[in-house]
Structure 1
Amino acid sequence: MKLSSAVSAACLTALPCISMANDSPNVLLIIADDMGIEASNCYSLGNQQAKMPNIEAMCKQGMVFENGYSAPVCSPTRATIMSGQYGFRTGVGAAIPRIGGEGRGLSANTTSLFDVLEKSNYSTNVIGKWHLADSGNDYNHPTEMGVPDYWGLLKGGTRSYFNWDGATQGKRFDSSVYTTTDFTNQAVDWIDKQDNPWFLWLAYNAPHTPFHLPPVDLHSSDELSDDTNAIKENPLPYYHAMLEAMDTEIGRLLDSMELEERDNTIVMFVGDNGSPNQVASDLYGVHDAKGTIYEGGTHVPLIAVGPGVKKGRTEGFVNTTDIYTTVASIAGVEVDLVDSYDFSPLLSGKSNGRDYIYVEHFEEVVKSKGGTFGWAVREGDYKVVQVKDVTQPELYDLSKDPLEQNDLLADGISKSEKRIVNRLQARYEQIHGS
């Protein structure tokens, strides 16, 4: 166990930062793999939303976060949740490759969220996609990070959702069950066995590529053909079918819970980065989506519902680093990390302490293929983007230009714009100097 002096046990019979109907609510964190906000009917961006009735019901019943931000790709986002730290502190700044990723996983010396939760009376687990281990071959990595009973897809992806290999208890296994269904089956079984309050991190690999036609009973796109060329020519409807299939299985998971347990469970749903460019680049234009430090790569859906969660929408800023401290707070454990803000006040309609957004994408060993590297900082409506190896930053007013099509500095910089840029660059220096 890797507990630091920054973590201490709080009173487990009362929550310090959020008032819940029950003092020990369960927490179900559901992560969608490659889903930007434009894919959800919970947000009004573009016109290419998937049919996801269970998630949409959560949006109507709970809190929708207008400003949830992740890293641009899988591994860094998962590392921020697991560590509560930005990537420049952990070294995980890009997706860990299947081959040649030695030394690029999240260090087992990191004080993980699961190490912290050992100070509580919560049962904990991760089921689904991991993508934090070096080259996806370190079968013991989840255990080393404090996860007691990990089961799932250790690597960043699979060539087939229907035939894939995973890991559990440090050993490899093979499965011929559709991943979205198999992950849900495991989650249903694990929750059913719990006697204590619990935290489950359920990480679907949907809707990550390969695009495909899911089992017919999980979606309503009966007109789609299971043809490789058709999928390649027009992947968007298949992407939507994959999202609907995930939503169907989320509904099955929630329905499997006893009413009392369901009513005592906070469900958080988040995307780990923007949507694949094959299905989203038409909306975001030259800046693309997944893999970029622009909005298309980092602005993701974030929804919460459950006991003590107010119905509505919030403009409050949330980075995925904040999930660490928030889950710990709900479990009754106080955490003091400079990069991780407790957003549980937002759940009850109050404000949190975060007044900026910071995102980054970097690779110091071997540059990952694709994407836009660099960093971005947002304060209020203004966002500065600093692309790696480019001298001049870019500046956007997201209140007028949410898709970042108009760089305010493209035609020169005014005094007022210079002040904004200086302020945001100073915030970057402050973050890296803390």
Structure 2
Amino acid sequence: MTPIKHRNKNHKQRFVVQYKVFMLLIIFISCENQPVNSSEASEKSENTLPNILLVIADDMGKDAFPNYPEGQEKPQLPNLNNLMAGGITFDNLWTYSVCSPTRASILTGKLGYHSGVMEVEQDISLNEESLHDFLKDQTNGDYDTALIGKWHLSNTITDPNSMGVDYYSGIIGGGVSSYTNWNRITNGERERVATYTTTEFSNQAVQWISQRSKPWFLWLAYNAPHTPFHLAPTNLHNQGNLSEDETMIEANPLPYYFSAIEALDTELGRVIESIPNGLENTIVIFLGDNGTPSQVVQSPYRTRRAKGSIFQGGINVPMVISGVGVTRKGEREDALIQSTDLFTTIAQMAGSVILEKYNSKSFHALLSETGVDTRAYAYTEKSTDGNICYTVRDAQYKLIVDADGTESVYDLKNDPYERNNLFTNQSPTINEVRNSLFQEAERIRE
């Protein structure tokens, strides 16, 4: 009889174990089907949204930027070189030839012809929808936003905040007379500052980033290397022990200009290093707002075809994008892009599904794909005391229409620095090119 009792006991033990396993499965399945707490879902969503850092250098053309063929001398920029090695270098970005219209075009997604900002001292309308507001609207408020550095879109010190910028700290006007003695505006409050502007803007950026608990968009607008040409702090550049005598600076401003660019690169590296997890969840966009000034522009550009002109030296500027979501590493991109396109592109980085708005067409797909269908034409313009000239291009040809009606046509594939005006010897083919580009410009300006 003993063996029979032993078998019964084992049978009961197996039943108990199976029952416990069954109950654990029921509990597990029940937990899996429970609704997710909305705050937890929101937190998870926010954790997957990238931080976005938009960096603008003031008066820095392709001839002063590494990885571009223009220019015989280059500043030493290890941090920008790292961004280029880990991301995409863009060859065909057009901005405006001076800073305020470029900034307005990025902020609104509109060309100056439509926003009313076509000259340096024209104020932006506070009724315009800003990129900061659009970003928050598209993400249901998931982003904190800031603009640190140069504003130069109006003179009222509360305007950045009025246009949706959560935190503003910087220079409200076009520049400073001294990089170490200037007025800083912080959310409508004015304060005199003696810290080198590039360092102070970086300090502000590091501090603001450190205080964030949700995804953020930071527009970091350095005023460097804009005039006055000067020697940056020695620990921030590699140009050596240059004289700070004004006569020496005026006689040879290029190394001083480079010192300011190198200081910008050094301080930008400090900002990037301060970001928790670095570029694992942050994307960086770096560009110049217009071409290099005539005093320091290098060949193949000409002094009268640099900043302030709508020739390539004034409007075709450097841009690099690197970080999370950029799967093309160390590549170049020749798609046509204009500064307005950053409006929808940045919004798409944050999850917006809107590809086009106003004069902005997103190129977000280029960050991970080649051969993407982007814009067929790029356009920009310049106004001087209300006299407007403009230019429009396609993949090969460029039309310039001066304020007096004079026209010129260039073949940018075979003549990238605009030496040969094809319109001086008109042919049926060139007339057809001119007419096509002219009609496109008329459509854009409707």
Superposition pairs of residues 221-240 of structure 1, within 5 angstroms: 221-240=239-258
Of the two, which has the highest radius of gyration? 2
2:357 is equivalent to residue 337 of structure 1: yes
Letter in 2 for 1:179: T
For residues 199-219 of structure 1, what are the alpha-carbon distances to aligned partners after superposition, in whole Å with 9 as ceiling and x for unaligned?
A: 000000000000000000000
1:226-261 deviations in whole A, cap 9, x for unaligned?
Answer: 111010001111111110010010111111222x25
The secondary structure found in structure 2 opposite 1:211 is coil
Which of 392, 402, 407 in structure 2 is aligned with 1:393? 407
Q: 2:38 is matched with which residue?
A: none
Distance in 2 (CA, whole Å) between partners of 1:246 and 1:349 is 30
Contact 1:33/1:205, CA 8 A, preserved across alignment: yes
1:246 paired with 2:274, answer no
Match for residue 271 of structure 1?
288
Q: Which residue of the other structure, out of 222, 236, 245, is the alignment partner of 1:204?
A: 222
Residues 20-35 of structure 1 aligned to structure 2 (within 5 Å): 23-35=48-60
Matched, 1:299 2:316: yes
Structure ranking higher in helix proportion = 2
Q: 2:432: which partner in 1?
A: 419
What does residue 377 of structure 1 align with? 392
Partner in structure 2 of residue 88 of structure 1: 113
Q: What is the distance in 1 between the residues matched to 2:48 and 2:305?
A: 43
CA contact (8 A) 2:63 2:298 kept: no
Q: Measure how far apart 1:396 and its partner are.
A: 0.7
Question: Which residue of 1 is the match for residue 333 of structure 2?
Answer: 314
**What is the match of residue 328 of structure 1?**
347
In structure 2, relative to structure 1, the CA distance for the partners of 1:46 and 1:320 (3 Å cut) is same
User: Aligned-pair distance for 1:285?
Assistant: 2.3
Q: Check the 8 A contact 2:70/2:298 in 1, yes or no.
A: no
C-alpha distance in structure 2 between counterparts of 1:37 and 1:161, whole Å: 24
Q: Does structure 1 retain, via aligned residues, the 8 Å contact 2:102–2:290?
A: yes
Give the distance between the partners of 1:287 and 1:23, measured in 2 at CA.
47
Deviation of the 1:72 alpha carbon: 0.5
1:219 to 2:237 alignment = yes
Matched ranges for 1:351-370 at <5 A: 351-364=372-385
Q: Name the residue aligned to 2:9.
A: none
Report how far residue 333 of structure 1 moved. Answer: 2.6
1:126 is aligned to 147
Alignment partners' CA distance in 1, 2:339 and 2:251: 34
Structure 2 unmatched ranges of 5 or more: 1-40
Within 2, Cα distance between the matches of 1:280 and 1:24? Answer: 40
Partner SS for 1:277? coil
> Is 2:202–2:271's contact at 8 Å kept on the other side of the alignment?
yes
| Inter-CA distance 304–150: structure 2 relative to 1 (3 Å threshold) | same
- What whole-Å deviation, never above 9, does each CA across 1:393-419 have from its counterpart, x for those lacking one? 111111122111211122x21110000
C-alpha distance in 2 between matches for 1:12 and 1:82? 27
Corresponding residue for residue 38 of structure 1: 63
Q: Secondary structure at the match of 1:301?
A: strand
Report the alpha carbon displacement of residue 262 of structure 1 after superposing the two structures with TM.
2.9
C-alpha separation in 1, matches of 2:119 and 2:298: 20
Equivalent position to 1:185, from 194, 200, 203: 203
Q: In structure 1, what residue type is equivalent to 2:418? A: E
The answer on whether the counterparts of 1:341 and 1:352 sit within 8 Å (CA) in structure 2 is: no
Count residues with an aligned counterpart.
398
Per the alignment, do residues 239 and 42 of structure 1 end up closer, same or farther by CA in structure 2, a change over 3 Å counting?
Answer: same
Q: 1:148-167 maps to which residues of 2 (within 5 A)?
A: 148-167=166-185
Give the Cα separation in 2 of the matches to 1:286 and 1:154. 29
Matched-pair contact (CA < 8 Å) for 1:12–1:332: no
Deviations 1:252-292 (A, max 9, x none): 1111222x253110000010000111001654226420011
Q: TM-score if structure 1 supplies the norm length?
A: 0.88
Q: Does 1:114 align with 2:139?
A: no
Query: 1:26 touches 1:264 (CA, 8 Å); kept in 2?
Result: yes
- Superposition pairs of residues 37-76 of structure 1, within 5 angstroms: 37-76=62-101
Tell me the alpha carbon deviations over residues 103-127 of structure 1, each in whole angstroms, 9 at most, x when there is no partner.
x211000011111122220111100
CA contact (8 A) 1:206 1:242 kept: yes
Secondary structure at the aligned position of 2:269 is classed as helix
Q: Deviations over 1:287-318 (max 9, x none)?
A: 42001111011011110001121111111111
Tell me if the contact between 2:297 and 2:303 (Cα under 8 Å) persists in the aligned partners.
no
Alignment-mate amino acid for residue 106 of structure 1: I
Question: What is the CA–CA distance in structure 2 between the aligned matches of 1:362 and 1:423, rounded to whole Å?
Answer: 23
8 Å contact from structure 2 (residues 72, 299) kept in 1: no
1:281-292 to 2 correspondences below 5 Å = 283-285=300-302, 287-292=304-309
Matched, 1:346 2:366: yes
Instruction: Specify the code of the residue in structure 2 equivalent to 1:380.
Output: A
3-state DSSP class of the match of 2:440?
A: helix
Q: Distance in 1 between matches of 2:202 and 2:318?
A: 21
- SS of the equivalent of 2:96 reads coil
Contact 2:71 2:298 in 1 (8 A): no
Question: For each residue in 1:118-144, what CA deviation from the matched residue of structure 2 results, as whole angstroms up to 9, or x when unmatched?
Answer: 2220111100000001xx3x0111011
CA RMSD of aligned residues (A): 1.9
The one-character-per-residue Cα deviations of 1:50-90 (angstroms, maximum 9, x if unpaired) are: 21111011111101111111110010000001100000001
Amino acid at match of 2:88: M
Are the counterparts in 2 of residues 72 and 274 from structure 1 also a CA contact under 8 Å? yes
Q: Is the 8 A contact 2:302 2:313 kept in 1?
A: no
Corresponding residue for residue 402 of structure 1: 416
| Equivalent residues of 1:116, 1:333 under 8 A apart | no
